Amino acid sequence: MNCYLCERDMPLQANWRSLFLNDLEEVICSRCRSSFERLEKGCRICGGLGTDICSDCSKWETTAYAGVIDSGKSLFRYNLAMKEYLHQYKFLKDIVLAEVFAPVLREELRSQKAVIVPIPMNENKLKERTFPQVDRLLDAASLPYVHYLEKNEVRLAGKSKADRIASEDVFWWNGKPVPEKVLLFDDLYTTGSTMRMAAKALKAEGVKEITILALIRA
């Protein structure tokens, strides 16, 4: 097969893990895989730089969103290779690229006991993109998930933190009985406002513990 990103030929190599543990096969070559930078242990809330809690999360903890996220992490840095990947996946609508990070997500979440909840898209954005990119990442990794939230069409890009904090109506609960523990999943963590708004909406409905996981930390 050929690498999904650079199209170099990749020898098909079956191994005992793929045969007996149902692990997912790699769809990109080792050179492309090495171009993505894994994040080491950092901020206990977002996985960003910081030994315990980063400066950005420290500021969030002084707002009305203090405590809505109990813990979390991000897996990769938003470097050039990741920027190019996201552009091709999300904006050029190359849906097969959902498989690129399937092995990593499967390994990270396969033993997760909390219910995985993907950040939803609003209807207009879904029509524009043609597919729910966060859901497809989980589908490619064969991970179960449940939607408890719907998203209104509120643009957060370019807004100040004060304006983002004031945007309380971005997410609304869809009425399904919520579990006690939730893992919120999104493809890209930038300012943290999306995750916090979603977490706050879920905690208002009775979720006791919320962990977050982002594929990429900007």
Question: Whose structure tokens read 């449940």?
Answer: 146
Tokens read off for 209: 């513990």
Query: Worst-scoring range by mean pLDDT, 11-15, 63-67, 111-115, 158-162?
Result: 158-162
213 beta partners: 73, 185
Which helix (H) or strand (E) element contains residue 103? helix 102-109
pLDDT higher than 50, residue 194: yes
Q: Taking residues 52-80, what's their average pLDDT?
A: 95
Average pLDDT, the chain: 90
Please report, for the chain, the start and end positions of each structural domain, with discontinuous segments joined by +. 39-98+111-217
Query: 0.85 cut: is pTM over it?
Result: yes
pLDDT higher than 70, residue 218: yes
Say if residues 111 and 141 touch (Cβ distance below 8 Å): no
From CA 1, how far away is CA 37, in angstroms rounded?
24
From CA 116, how far away is CA 213, in angstroms rounded?
10
Query: Taking the domain 39-98+111-217, which CATH number applies?
Result: 3.40.50
212 beta partners: 72, 184
Q: Are strands 171-173 and 149-151 parallel, antiparallel or unpaired?
A: antiparallel
